[in-house]
């Protein structure tokens, strides 16, 4: 019905498309039209079939039945080359750029190089052409640096420029903002709007619902391989989306905050390191202390310093236990764990887990000695028992404790990281982007776990780029900018806009007091 508002022939039309993998119908009778000049949001939990749908369109995997029409004509999509030739371009979370090549080379990768009279490569011509493409995007970035040295947002722009250079008229963007700062996201959205005006269609996939509402005109929700609904964005609410995605009515996303105690747990005095300077705060038992700031503000660095994984140059960390205060200087994560600290690192797959090893081995890795006979002989029965118990407590979904962690979804992987911390006696939990790439159901589980832990007196320091999440969970909010502490705010009374104001340096605490 809404189709009439757009061009009559869809750019891409899925017609009763199905794809079965052994044991699961990944895409089940999906029909979906994408139009020129439309940004179309695609949302769903992990495993809902979004990725498979994209793979079918990209020609990366064959469909079992149904048709995919491109500009009204049935398309033979047997290989990624076919999709490229038809003007489809794909921008993934992990960008397919050659890290050592500069932006110009990456933009024209796969095209013939311009030649000079004597046969050499016309680098200047190449750069000029690249600059023209980037100008169309309003993108300003250095052309003479390898892309590995560009900011994540700039890298995303390079891959969009490559799509433009290939004359793509449908861009499929899969979690394009996962590693971007808010500023970079704003710029990306401006670019998307420019493309849209030029008649390019965009299929936009994201777990971040706020972005879906900000940039799309229509939203399609998938669940268990089927399309639940396609709606004009203006007619849907965040609550509707969550309900469609999970198939159940949702209570409030964030559990009610249990009141924090006034018992100090961890006091940090003028702590300084390579990227942070003069950080001071006290974390109380049962408190969630949120840490906000732009990427590069020193948030992860602060956690790593507390955890003994980054050098502390000055200042003091005091751990309070049973009324006694003890100055601590963890020099390694091993020491931090012994003191009752635990960290869920920012990059789950590269820093958090040993993906090839089973769930139970990952769970017991840190406190392995406690689960071994005599402290050295492994006792698998006991490890598995502990893993099963913790798994139930955390609503971990897996085939068995012996399943390799790499086979789990992002949310379940994060739960294994939590299980590892809970396998010991954790007092202070340091969480770095605990819900990145995690679907909405698992997010709710993680929020519930954080709530349970604080109710038991654990102190949590939470770093997250999703402001609503920090504001929904934290009691107080520490704002960092360029490695310095700019504000300590009451999370229940501050607005998102104000926090951003502090992050960007538009506000400071003195102003508020005054």
Partner 1 sequence: MQADNSVSTTAGLRQGANRWLRVYGTFAGFVAMIVIFSLLRPGVFLSPNNLRNITEQVAILAIVATTMTVVMVVGDFDLSVGALASLSGVVVADMLIRGVGLWPGVVIALLIGAVAGLFNGLLVAYFGLSAFVATLATMTAFRGFSLFYTNGSTLFSGIPESFKIFGQSFTGPVPNSVLIMLAVLVVTWFVLEQTTLGRRLYAIGGNAQASYLAGLNVRALRLTAFIISGLGAALAGIVLTSRLFSAHPTAGEPLMLNSIAAVFLGMTMFREGEPHVLGTFVGVLLLGVMSNGLNILQVNSYLQLVLTGVIILLAVLLSGLARRE
> Residues interacting with partner 1, by CB under 8 A?
20, 22-25, 224, 307, 309, 332-334, 336-338, 343, 345, 350-357, 361, 365-366, 368-369, 372, 375-378, 404, 420
The full 3-state SS of 36-92, as one line of letters, equals CCCEEEEECCCCCCHHHHHHHHHCCCCCCEEEEEECCEECCCCCHHHHHHCCEEEEC
Q: How far is the CB of 411 from partner 1 (least distance, A)?
A: 18
C-beta closer to partner 1: residue 380 or 448: 380
Residue pair 268/281 in contact by the 8 Å Cβ criterion: yes
CA 230/CA 44 separation, integer angstroms: 12
Q: How far is the CB of 503 from partner 1 (least distance, A)?
A: 26
C-beta closer to partner 1: residue 160 or 303: 303
Q: Is the dihedral of CA 282, 283, 285, 290 positive or negative?
A: positive
CA 346/CA 431 separation, integer angstroms: 8
Q: How far is the CB of 20 from partner 1 (least distance, A)?
A: 6
Q: How far is the CB of 406 from partner 1 (least distance, A)?
A: 9
C-beta closer to partner 1: residue 175 or 432: 432
Count how many residues are written for the chain: 514
Q: How far is the CB of 322 from partner 1 (least distance, A)?
A: 23
Which helix (DSSP H) or strand (DSSP E) does residue 341 occupy?
A: strand 341-344
CA 22/CA 15 separation, integer angstroms: 22
Question: Which token pair is 322?
Answer: 């049973």
C-beta closer to partner 1: residue 185 or 342: 342
Q: How far is the CB of 333 from partner 1 (least distance, A)?
A: 5
C-beta closer to partner 1: residue 22 or 110: 22
C-beta closer to partner 1: residue 215 or 343: 343
Tokens 């710029």 label which residue? 187
Q: How far is the CB of 356 from partner 1 (least distance, A)?
A: 4
- Residue 267 φ/ψ, nearest 5 degrees: -115, 130
Q: How far is the CB of 357 from partner 1 (least distance, A)?
A: 5
Residue pair 290/431 in contact by the 8 Å Cβ criterion: no
C-beta closer to partner 1: residue 19 or 162: 19
**Segment 236-242 long-range contacts (CB within 8 Å, at least 24 positions apart):** 238/209, 238/210, 238/213, 241/43, 241/209, 241/212, 242/209, 242/440
C-beta closer to partner 1: residue 20 or 92: 20
Residue pair 93/54 in contact by the 8 Å Cβ criterion: no
C-beta closer to partner 1: residue 246 or 261: 246
CA 330/CA 310 separation, integer angstroms: 10
Q: How far is the CB of 276 from partner 1 (least distance, A)?
A: 19
Q: How far is the CB of 362 from partner 1 (least distance, A)?
A: 8
C-beta closer to partner 1: residue 379 or 509: 379
Question: Which token pair is 287?
Answer: 């408190």
Sheet holding 484-490, edge to edge: 341-344, 428-432, 459-463, 288-292, 476-481, 484-490
Residue pair 344/421 in contact by the 8 Å Cβ criterion: yes
Cβ neighbors of 167 (< 8 A, separation 6 or more) are 87
Residue pair 413/357 in contact by the 8 Å Cβ criterion: no
Cβ neighbors of 8 (< 8 A, separation 6 or more) are none
C-beta closer to partner 1: residue 219 or 396: 396
CA 106/CA 96 separation, integer angstroms: 9
Q: How far is the CB of 144 from partner 1 (least distance, A)?
A: 30
């Amino acid at each position: 019905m809404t189709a009439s508002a757009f061009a009559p022939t869809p750019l891409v039309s899925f017609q009763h498309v199905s794809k079965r993998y052994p044991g699961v119908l990944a895409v089940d009778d999906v029909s979906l039209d994408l139009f020129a000049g439309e940004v179309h949001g695609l949302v769903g939990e992990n495993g809902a079939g979004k990725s498979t749908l994209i793979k079918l369109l990209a020609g990366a995997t064959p469909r079992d039945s149904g048709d995919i029409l491109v500009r009204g004509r049935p398309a033979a999509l047997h290989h990624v080359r076919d999709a490229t030739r038809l003007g489809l371009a794909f921008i993934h979370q992990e960008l397919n750029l050659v890290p050592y090549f500069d932006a110009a080379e990456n933009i024209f990768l796969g095209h013939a190089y311009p030649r000079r009279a004597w046969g050499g490569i016309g680098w200047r011509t190449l750069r000029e052409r690249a600059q023209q493409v980037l100008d169309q995007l309003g993108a300003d970035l250095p052309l003479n640096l390898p892309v590995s040295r560009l900011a994540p947002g700039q890298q995303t722009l390079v891959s969009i420029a490559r799509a433009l250079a290939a004359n793509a008229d449908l861009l499929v963007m899969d979690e394009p903002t996962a590693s971007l700062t808010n500023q970079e996201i704003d710029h990306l959205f401006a670019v998307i709007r420019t493309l849209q005006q030029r008649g390019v269609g965009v299929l936009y996939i994201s777990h971040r619902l706020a972005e879906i509402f900000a940039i799309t005109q229509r939203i399609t929700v998938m669940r268990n391989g089927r399309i639940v609904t396609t709606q004009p964005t203006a007619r849907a609410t965040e609550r509707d989306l969550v309900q469609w995605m999970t198939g159940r009515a949702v209570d409030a996303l964030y559990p009610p905050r249990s009141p924090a105690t006034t018992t100090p747990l961890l006091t940090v005095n003028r702590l300084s390191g390579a990227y942070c300077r003069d950080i001071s705060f006290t974390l109380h038992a049962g408190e969630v202390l949120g840490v906000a700031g732009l990427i590069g503000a020193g948030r992860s660095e602060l956690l790593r310093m507390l955890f003994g994984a980054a050098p502390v140059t000055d200042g003091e960390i005091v751990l309070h236990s049973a009324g006694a205060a003890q100055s601590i200087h963890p020099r390694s994560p091993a020491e931090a764990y012994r003191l009752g600290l635990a960290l869920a690192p920012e990059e789950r797959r590269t820093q958090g887990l040993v993906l090839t090893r089973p769930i139970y081995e990952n769970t017991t890795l840190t406190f392995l000695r406690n689960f071994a006979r005599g402290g050295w002989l492994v006792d698998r029965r006991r490890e598995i028992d502990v893993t099963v118990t913790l798994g139930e407590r955390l609503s971990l979904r897996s085939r068995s404790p012996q399943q390799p962690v790499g086979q789990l979804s992002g949310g379940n992987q994060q739960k294994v990281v939590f299980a590892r911390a809970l396998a010991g006696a954790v007092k202070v939990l340091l969480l770095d982007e605990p819900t990145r790439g995690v679907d909405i159901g698992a997010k709710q589980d993680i929020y519930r776990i954080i709530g349970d832990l604080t109710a038991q007196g654990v102190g949590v320091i939470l770093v997250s780029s999703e402001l609503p999440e920090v504001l929904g969970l934290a009691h107080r909010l520490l704002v960092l900018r360029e490695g310095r502490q700019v504000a300590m705010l009451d999370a229940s009374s501050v607005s998102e806009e104000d926090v951003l104001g502090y992050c960007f340096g538009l506000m400071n605490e003195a102003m508020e007091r005054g």
